Structure 1
């Protein structure tokens, strides 16, 4: 059996390891009713592997490339030039060339071809490799097809593609390359369609770029395009550009730029009806693949053809839904002024404190599901009050805007998993009672007693974990986190906190009324004792004072990385003092 060729006509399901990501997606597209894909075939990764096995020098060069641990630009470029030269100059193995010639003979003579790379680590949900490997249009004749197959193989080792693999953790010999040889559509209009808006990540909006001629000019940014936006079957926006040129196939092979006639330059490349037709095709493709898609398409004789589809990998991920209806999430990190992505260990602890049922890790950040809070009138007031006092102002304003949508909060599913639930001994009344007592008593010793209680708990934990290590230590930490809220968030402590918050709010209200100064309590709080935030700030200032005495350390901090921070610090003058 010939393992070097797979035709689009014969294959129903394709293995990415055999035909690469691009070809696998094209074969899947051909199986979708109503989706037209230009016919063709794939030169499999078996052919690529055979080419390698016949060339010892090529294997040695790729192995040398694999020894480079960080992108050394000059060394990468030198080895890549040698690898590409070796592939292009080597003769395609006889049995592979014969299989390609035999397959081409089954098509009409004189057919123009598109010869395109299809790597095994390409067009994946986590890494698209978009634009990393070469595509050749309007390839004419068997000899030219064979030549461009070699060029596609060589494009796996451009410095750009090699650096992309290194940055994304793909080993060079683990990525194989198949080649798609596909009948070239000669379109009047072509372009790119995103089934989710790439600028806003709105999954409900289809964004379509369209221009005259072959689509390669738009992918590479050489030609201007119109942009159309579709939502719920309606064109909600369009930007019509001045399109001065189009990429056209040349009579002797290859392509050339052709000037657009004056009366067509500012006209819509697609009618509104065509835009809506195309958007519906995009939604159908997205439904089959299960992810928002980046789709290359073309229009020939009023028929749409799809020539590529891959997942959009740049969208911010969504929090998991459960199908009960709309949900509302807030960023737990932003509540603590932590705007950068969190480490997995930080997410684990944060989720344990806030309650696992309400916590979701998305894009390296922890989001709190406040849907059930907002569904309840009492929970809604509590949620908004807390966010107004201690939360992010933009977050609070966003929730206020949701409140202005008629019926929105009533549409939210109800449940018991609440972020701002008063889960203390004695419930809400217990907290209010202790808060009132703390306010009336007005005794600073109350807070000191609570602090001593917390310190005693910490000392007890320190003694208990001293003899633990490995998985026992991790199990102990996980178990302790489950009890942390009960140990810290008891009614007496919550009452003291409530009294402090209400006092600060009253103080702000009066100082703004009497002095015209807003948020005065924020300044006052910085001077109170036992503030971990203030103490941390002062400690950092002490570190800065020490660093300024050592210029070598200051220079090191400009280029230091997290992974080797302390090791590198020890190697510079003054590093031992600072650390």
Structure 2
């Protein structure tokens, strides 16, 4: 029922909770923990039985309202110590020195990795022996606090296992106290300790009564690298008779810890981290110049690197850039199979060496550019990758590159420049040369190749019974044909654009007009999808369809006109392959969810939308540029160049679209194979096939006895270790440090990167995914990032604000295609801006302003 901290045995977590277990373990390990004991879950068995047999408990389970929870809390707070409990309590209290104690909770569900009930359970300080019983009941009751129960509900933690243990510990008369983290929570750096310190009891810091000093220590160099000494006016102090008192500190601006003490505390923190083998958050105190450890718990909010990505503390670090986030606009991990196919496709397009010793590394759902290797072998490639967007460029401008450049070149990169040049020339050389010589012929060749690949995909991938690996390789071969041809088109298009820019270099207004030329393009998949969606949504018979059930019934009964069905079926055939994270084969497609299609089409404002508006804007820009060119006698030259540019630049995203087409068809094949494996009890669900690699599927097709479930379990284990990480950083090093850009701005302005010109004011709508909620006419979309699957949402948008993505990221391309004012690289936009805020988006200068905030109303 009760365990002393200095016990030789360690009770189970489910009996004492994470907090108490850590105090027992650290006491046993010789750390300076004040004497104490824990009243285990078993100690409160009778109380819990009474509570769970009560009407208050059953009422709460029936209706989990705050009112019902409060009644439950009051019942718990009034529980009385039984004779059996009293005997045990008196017996063990005799082993604790002192007359004043702290009483705090230790829930089995608290301070565990993946959960954090921080600040929800109660702590009582300065409790004398005669008041212990009352405060034990109060601490016990905190496990029924509404904040705790609501947190459990939101995190799918069962109420059935509600239980608590209580810590009773000798109260330290703290002269100085605080908290410390064995990694830097601000930048995730594993080699930095962060210390908060103030005068008196640590409760002043925890409760927010005082702003503490902040010290940052480099663990490798054992050096203080940053100090912020705060004005610590108030402190909480222990009274000799029990209880606590707030009072002014004598020297509020004095540094709470000396430099020697800071380095000494860093050593204690590092020892605790080493003992547990994971990042730790501790509470500490000083009494009579002696250190005390008051709490130790795992840090649950950091980003853990995969072990393969780590380098040893003190060694030269690797630097990783998230390739998927940078190019595709999402940070969620890809499936095992999806990443396997994607990595092969990327290699076909650029030939960059793959793997831990290469440039591009696919690992457990993530795809990284190893920038430390890039910086070692190629200044040109370093400049290309580091200039991807404004924040990345800003980071690299202030980065100490010598921290990341290895002394020796990895074997795989020894002949990097020669091998890469040879690869790129073999892939793009011929088409680039043709594009420079004859742009019209290049355009016709690409269209011909595109038609052939489309036909091949829909015959071979849809109808063939070849092994899955063969189909993947054939699909990627088709994609490679398009990539080889696209080089010439883009060279010709960009050459035409460059000539246009030179033609109008003396005319300031021309800059935004030239951007508008690349809007509403022919042969561009995004523009074509928007136009086809608008056409389909505009049929009167669809406008008059009021609900999904009616839509499904009419489709199944062929009650729509042939014209509507033709338009709808064309949309499904050409763009039903799209979806959020569409490059991942595990992602469901739009065509698989008719409710999503219906919702997308219904939400389009058919009378006023981006597809209609961009056509007008593009035509106006073209006519104005013609007028300017006419004024200096070059109208015909401009028309010729503009036609070349518009005819070709629309294809820039076409190979990627065709890749998505192939992936969608391969998905059907994979699921069919998954169904066979499930039928034969080799998988539990067809979707588990996405947790396998290409080679594993190939082996499974040949070997009917291959244990697929074991492979699935092995492959998803690394995913599960990081499943709580929501926002992966764009740039992180091999010691966990995340790099952020520091952007300067004027008051009231949020800086970003100009993507698509124009200024618009409107109501902000925050969306984390395109299906989250409708975006209404005139609203400005604010999102973390976007990809082509967001195009249906963009149709109604008045403007776009994105946290992630440079000028060539897909969200930026969509914004320009639809002529929407757009600013990207706006740090924390989805947190700074609220739903309903009135904002101004200046896509020409890269500035967002919050004109009216909901927070102030």
- TM-score normalised by length of structure 2: 0.55
In structure 2, the residue matched to 1:172 is: 159
Alignment of 1:257-296 (within 5 A): 257-261=246-250, 264-296=251-283
Give the distance between the partners of 1:482 and 1:44, measured in 2 at CA.
60
Secondary structure of the residue aligned to 2:144 is: coil
Contact 1:190–1:297 (8 Å) recurs in 2: yes
Give the distance between the partners of 1:271 and 1:538, measured in 2 at CA.
68
Alignment of 1:55-134 (within 5 A): 55=51, 57-58=53-54, 61-67=56-62, 75-108=64-97, 110-134=98-122
- TM-score normalised by length of structure 1: 0.79
Contact 2:361–2:370 (8 Å) recurs in 1: no
- 1:250 is displaced (CA, Å) by 2.8
Q: 1:91 to 1:298 in 2, by over 3 A?
A: same
Contact 1:80–1:158 (8 Å) recurs in 2: yes
In structure 2, the residue matched to 1:572 is: none
Q: Deviations over 1:228-269 (max 9, x none)?
A: 2222322222222222221112344321112222xx122111
Deviates more, 1:508-517 or 1:179-188: 508-517
Give the distance between the partners of 2:770 and 2:448, measured in 1 at CA.
41
> Does 2:450 correspond to 1:451?
yes
Deviates more, 1:526-535 or 1:305-314: 526-535
> Does 2:150 correspond to 1:163?
yes
> Does 2:526 correspond to 1:533?
yes
Give the distance between the partners of 1:31 and 1:484, measured in 2 at CA.
61
Q: 1:304 to 1:407 in 2, by over 3 A?
A: closer
Q: 1:566 to 1:304 in 2, by over 3 A?
A: closer
Secondary structure of the residue aligned to 1:41 is: strand
Q: Deviations over 1:273-320 (max 9, x none)?
A: 111111111111122222222211101111111101112222234354
> Does 2:222 correspond to 1:216?
no
- 1:203 is displaced (CA, Å) by 2.5
- 1:432 is displaced (CA, Å) by 3.6
In structure 2, the residue matched to 1:321 is: 308
- 1:153 is displaced (CA, Å) by 1.4
Give the distance between the partners of 1:237 and 1:559, measured in 2 at CA.
36
Give the distance between the partners of 2:140 and 2:84, measured in 1 at CA.
17
> Does 2:332 correspond to 1:342?
yes
Alignment of 1:165-314 (within 5 A): 165-231=152-218, 232-261=221-250, 264-314=251-301
- Determine which of 535, 547, 572 is the counterpart of 2:603: 547
Contact 2:48–2:163 (8 Å) recurs in 1: no
Deviates more, 1:170-179 or 1:328-337: 328-337
Q: Deviations over 1:298-346 (max 9, x none)?
A: 01111111101112222234354345653232223433352x543755x
Contact 1:11–1:27 (8 Å) recurs in 2: no
- 1:149 is displaced (CA, Å) by 1.6
Give the distance between the partners of 2:404 and 2:160, measured in 1 at CA.
53
Gaps of at least 5 residues in structure 2 are: 345-353, 538-599, 608-763, 775-795, 797-857
- 1:134 is displaced (CA, Å) by 0.7
Q: Deviations over 1:62-94 (max 9, x none)?
A: 4543455xxxxxx52112212112122222333
Deviates more, 1:267-276 or 1:527-536: 527-536
Deviates more, 1:209-218 or 1:317-326: 317-326
Contact 1:321–1:327 (8 Å) recurs in 2: no
Alignment of 1:455-470 (within 5 A): 455-460=454-459, 463-464=462-463
In structure 2, the residue matched to 1:22 is: 19
Alignment of 1:515-534 (within 5 A): 515-516=504-505, 523-534=516-527
Give the distance between the partners of 2:233 and 2:529, measured in 1 at CA.
60
Give the distance between the partners of 2:491 and 2:396, measured in 1 at CA.
22
Contact 2:446–2:486 (8 Å) recurs in 1: no
- 1:508 is displaced (CA, Å) by 5.1
Contact 2:195–2:214 (8 Å) recurs in 1: yes
Deviates more, 1:481-490 or 1:447-456: 481-490
How big is the alpha-carbon RMSD for the aligned residues of Structure 1 and Structure 2? 4.0
Give the distance between the partners of 1:548 and 1:486, measured in 2 at CA.
37
In structure 2, the residue matched to 1:332 is: 323
Q: 1:165 to 1:376 in 2, by over 3 A?
A: same
Q: Deviations over 1:384-410 (max 9, x none)?
A: 44775xx434435645665x7348434
Q: Deviations over 1:452-480 (max 9, x none)?
A: 13312331366339x9xxxx9xx95x885
Secondary structure of the residue aligned to 1:253 is: coil
Contact 1:128–1:311 (8 Å) recurs in 2: no
Secondary structure of the residue aligned to 2:231 is: coil
- 1:53 is displaced (CA, Å) by 2.2
In structure 2, the residue matched to 1:571 is: none
Q: How many aligned residue pairs are there?
A: 529
- Determine which of 5, 8, 11 is the counterpart of 2:5: 8
Contact 2:102–2:171 (8 Å) recurs in 1: yes
Give the distance between the partners of 1:445 and 1:243, measured in 2 at CA.
73
Deviates more, 1:534-543 or 1:122-131: 534-543
Q: 1:267 to 1:382 in 2, by over 3 A?
A: closer
Secondary structure of the residue aligned to 1:156 is: helix
Q: 1:481 to 1:207 in 2, by over 3 A?
A: farther
- 1:101 is displaced (CA, Å) by 1.4
In structure 1, the residue matched to 2:692 is: none
Secondary structure of the residue aligned to 2:271 is: helix
Secondary structure of the residue aligned to 1:409 is: coil
Contact 1:508–1:520 (8 Å) recurs in 2: no
Alignment of 1:464-483 (within 5 A): 464=463, 480-481=471-472
In structure 2, the residue matched to 1:148 is: 135
Contact 1:372–1:417 (8 Å) recurs in 2: no
